[in-house]
Amino acid sequence: MKTAAQYEESLRRLNLKVYLQGERVENPVDHPIIRPSMNSVKTTYALAEDPLYQDLMTATSHLTGKKINRFCHLHQSTDDLVKKIKMQRLLGQKTAACFQRCVGMDAINAVDSVTFEMDQKLGTKYHERFTQFLLKMQEEDWTVDGAMTDPKGDRGLSPSQQTDPDLYVHVTERTDDGIVVRGAKAHQTGALNSHWILVMPTSTMRQEDADYALSFVAPADGKGIFYIYGRQSSDTRKLEGGDIDVGNKQFGGHEALMVFDDVFIPWENVFMCGEYEFSGVLVERFAGYHRQSYGGCKVGVGDVLIGAAAVAADYNGAAKASHIKDKLVEMTHLNETLYACGIACSAEGHKTASGTYLINMLLANVTKQNVTRFPYEIARLAEDIAGGLMVTMPSEKDLRHPEIGKVVEKYFRGVASVPTEDRMRILRLIENLTLGTAAVGYRTESMHGAGSPQAQRIMIARQSNPERKKELAKAIAGIGTN
């Protein structure tokens, strides 16, 4: 396994083509806007080194018998699925941000079982290729970015009906040696902190969309691949040099548009190419795993937000108020409900044909449906407890100013025993989690990550087995037994 330092050094060796705010970034690792997100991923390596967290952060490879980082592991039991959720909660608590490796972990588990079943039915060799890649991933402890979401263009048209064919990633050429692909993947979490990209189709494809039924891996700095970094709220505060106004200076997340400009992919790295009838199950399984993930990572960040709200109440002198206590209880209730769903869909998992364990798909979608709602209420309550000062207080530079700094300290102090700076720090953390850069990985991503709320409702309807429930009711009512 890589150490945290080795991980950072491995990123420095990549030749990524990155654009941020209209300029080419020569050194993404040390760019002040990007680096906090790298620190979050780095934590997944650091905790795996710590004996205290070995049980959650590492696993035993079913391929080699070696100890590996759990983010490179294929789930071999429901215990693995449960430990995944516990690991994600831990990392959310440690970073209060998106730590970005979940997408790749969820992708390899989905691709494993689907390629196995594809080979069984069609006689293809995709699973063997995937297994060879997985061996390298585990040996090198790679961070792999799972890439599913395409720009999509006109949502009312299928991929092949789009005016611009590149709005979905597709094959433009097939040769004896491999394929050439073109298009883009949007909202790519942690792309710049990854070693490899694992591409999957974005939706169920039909026969006329076969060129878009694609899954493959490519090095993150492969020829023809480039990135346009996404904006986040208050992101330029990271350029100001201070640390109070950022809220969470050390950790963060990022998203990027990933462009494939006629990228050559050798056949050994192709796991689906035109087998449109398997595109839907790959999308569903990846989405299921990723919706499970939200029952861990968002809960860990929620723990930090609840703690920050409680500290703010202490510093405001309002901790003893009954309505404050009740709001903190409600935040905890909502957060633990999310966790309970994540644990439940894991404990109810089952083995697939390849041997990899899949979560309970119905409960995974219920998990994510709750995540589209509860973090918004948790954030609202945190903002309520924090008070309006969270969004109206002066800057760190004002606090440090030789003349007006004393005024800031005087008038923005809460409880007399608490330094004004500490009060400002906790309020800025709440602002960061609910409105700032971390809101991308907490509040807004809770809505749109792993699919829109409607996508989960479709799956819940599909998985809920209403006919079975009708039969249960009829049996109790005595209908059809007379």
- Flag whether 58 is marked binding: no
Q: Are 190 and 204 in contact (CB under 8 A)?
A: no
Q: Are 149 and 200 in contact (CB under 8 A)?
A: no
- Catalytically annotated residues: 98, 102, 189, 255, 290, 294, 297, 445
Query: 434 CB contacts (<8 Å, ≥6 apart)?
Result: 305, 379, 382, 383, 442, 443
Amino acid at 125: K
User: CA-to-CA distance for 130 and 127, rounded, in angstroms?
Assistant: 5
Q: How many helices (H) and strands (E) does the chain have?
A: 17, 14
User: CA-to-CA distance for 455 and 373, rounded, in angstroms?
Assistant: 14
Q: Are 260 and 169 in contact (CB under 8 A)?
A: yes
Amino acid at 119: D
User: CA-to-CA distance for 214 and 312, rounded, in angstroms?
Assistant: 49
DSSP 366-426: HHHHHHTTHHHHHHHHHHHHH-GGGGT---HHHHH-TTTHHHHHHHT--STTS-HHHHHHH
Q: Are 37 and 193 in contact (CB under 8 A)?
A: yes
Which is nearest to 114 in space by CA: 206, 207, 198?
198
210: which 2 tokens?
A: 């076969």
What is the helix (H) or strand (E) element at residue 265, kind and residue range?
Answer: strand 256-266
User: CA-to-CA distance for 154 and 453, rounded, in angstroms?
Assistant: 19
Largest Cα–Cα separation, the chain: 90
Which is nearest to 42 in space by CA: 104, 118, 95?
95
Residue numbers belonging to the annotated binding site for FAD: 189
Binding-site residues, in ranges, read 189
